[in-house]
């Protein structure tokens, strides 16, 4: 996999067998419910880590739990379905799961860093440069109906349902 390429979402099935970490970051809308389903999870290699920072319903919770309880996958979940998890939910006792209470990114450093990043991104775009962190990137042709999948590293893939826009 060429880690410098932004792939369309339709390429996801061919990319999944090669990732060690799948980070799910998507808004919740009718088309994103169950986006990461049993088929997506089965395509991941053994011992892959699924990180859900999106919304609980973006990942098929039953399919994820089946993979976790079998011991084949690991997970770091900032969100779940249902949320919050009931006190007696088996995920609380799974050794291959890290659960945070939907506050994974909320630190004192978050807001100043976010402002700084947004300023740098806008400056780069206004001066005709790639946004920060998107060096040496080619965009493969995608049909108008295809969403893009930014691929940052060979083992770290971000799944996005829409391209970022600056208003």
Catalytic residue among 7, 89, 93, 102: 102
Q: In the chain, at which residue ranges do the beta strands (DSSP E only) sit? A: 5-8, 21-24, 49-52, 74-77, 97-99, 138-139, 148-149, 151-153, 156-159
Is 111 a catalytic site residue? no
Bridge partners of 151? 157
Query: Who's near 2: CB < 8 A, 6+ residues apart?
Result: none
DSSP, res 108? T
The size of the chain, in residues, is 167
**Catalytic residue positions, numbered:** 102
């Amino acid at each position: 996999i060429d880690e410098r390429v932004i792939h369309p979402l339709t390429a996801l099935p061919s990319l999944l067998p090669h990732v060690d970490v799948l980070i799910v970051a998507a808004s919740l809308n009718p088309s994103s419910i169950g986006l990461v389903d049993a088929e997506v999870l089965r395509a991941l290699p053994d011992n892959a880590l699924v990180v859900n920072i999106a919304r609980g319903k973006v990942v098929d919770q039953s399919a994820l739990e089946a993979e976790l309880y079998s011991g084949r996958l690991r997970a770091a979940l900032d969100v779940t379905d249902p949320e919050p998890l009931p006190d007696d939910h088996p995920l609380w006792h799974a050794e291959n799961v890290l659960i945070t209470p939907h506050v994974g990114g909320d630190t004192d450093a978050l807001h100043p860093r976010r402002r700084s990043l947004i300023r740098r991104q806008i400056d780069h775009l206004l001066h005709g440069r790639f946004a920060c962190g998107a060096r040496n990137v080619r965009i493969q042709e995608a049909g108008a109906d295809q969403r893009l999948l930014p691929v940052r590293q060979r083992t770290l893939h971000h799944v996005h349902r829409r391209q970022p826009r600056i208003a």
